[in-house]
């Protein structure tokens, strides 16, 4: 028997085996359909993560953030209409609670400088294992909880 249930004042209270929390709400943003699909399959299969949408460019991303208020946004660096850095600045303006992860194939030292200016929480290179991205989403998403 769980020790909590042994207390005389709690004899009728059921034991709590695990803490339940709301899932981390994630928006993915990438102009490549195959990348969006891969991110979707990777993230939605993880316990504790809920995919709340996807966007194909930075303009769509800002609109979706306003609508769905995600905990974490995984956003590509280079996209048409509005790049990831510019979109991240706008996302921070409309929903500063969102944690931002730049997900990029570009190895550009300038990206880190721009990311700091845009208040990006992390940069994840697309060549790195997906487990690292999942861990980043979980870590950053839990900061909001």
With contact defined as beta carbons under 8 Å apart, do 60 and 46 qualify? no
Task: Kindly state the helix (H) or strand (E) to which residue 107 belongs, with its residue range.
Answer: none
Residue 101, in any domain of the structure: yes
For 72, the domain range is 21-138
Residue 114, in any domain of the structure: yes
pLDDT digits (tens, 9 = 90+) for 70-126: 999 999 989 999 999 899 999 999 999 999 999 988 877 776 777 777 789 998 999
With contact defined as beta carbons under 8 Å apart, do 89 and 96 qualify? no
Residue 52, in any domain of the structure: yes
Q: Which two tokens stand for residue 139?
A: 């870590």
Termini Cα distance of the chain:
30
pTM given for the model:
0.82
Instruction: Supply the CATH number for residue 106's domain.
Output: 3.40.50.2300
47: DSSP letter: T
Residue 28, in any domain of the structure: yes
Residue 66, in any domain of the structure: yes
Residue 1, in any domain of the structure: no
pLDDT digits (tens, 9 = 90+) for 2-53: 333 333 444 443 443 344 479 999 999 999 999 999 999 999 999 999 999 9
Residue 85, in any domain of the structure: yes
- Name which residue leads in pLDDT, 104 or 58: 58
């Amino acid at each position: 028997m769980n020790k909590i249930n042994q207390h005389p004042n709690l004899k009728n209270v059921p034991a709590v085996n695990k803490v339940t929390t709301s899932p981390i709400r994630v928006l993915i943003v990438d102009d490549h359909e195959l990348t969006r699909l891969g991110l979707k399959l990777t993230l939605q299969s993880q316990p504790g993560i809920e995919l709340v949408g996807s966007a194909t460019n930075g303009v769509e991303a800002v609109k979706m953030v306003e609508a769905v208020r995600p905990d974490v946004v995984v956003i590509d660096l280079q996209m048409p209409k509005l790049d990831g850095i510019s979109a991240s600045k706008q996302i921070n303006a409309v929903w500063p609670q969102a944690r931002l992860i730049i997900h990029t194939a570009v190895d550009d030292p300038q990206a880190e400088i721009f990311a700091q200016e845009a208040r990006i929480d992390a940069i994840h290179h697309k060549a790195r294992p997906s487990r690292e991205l999942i861990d980043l989403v979980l870590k950053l998403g839990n900061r909001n909880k």
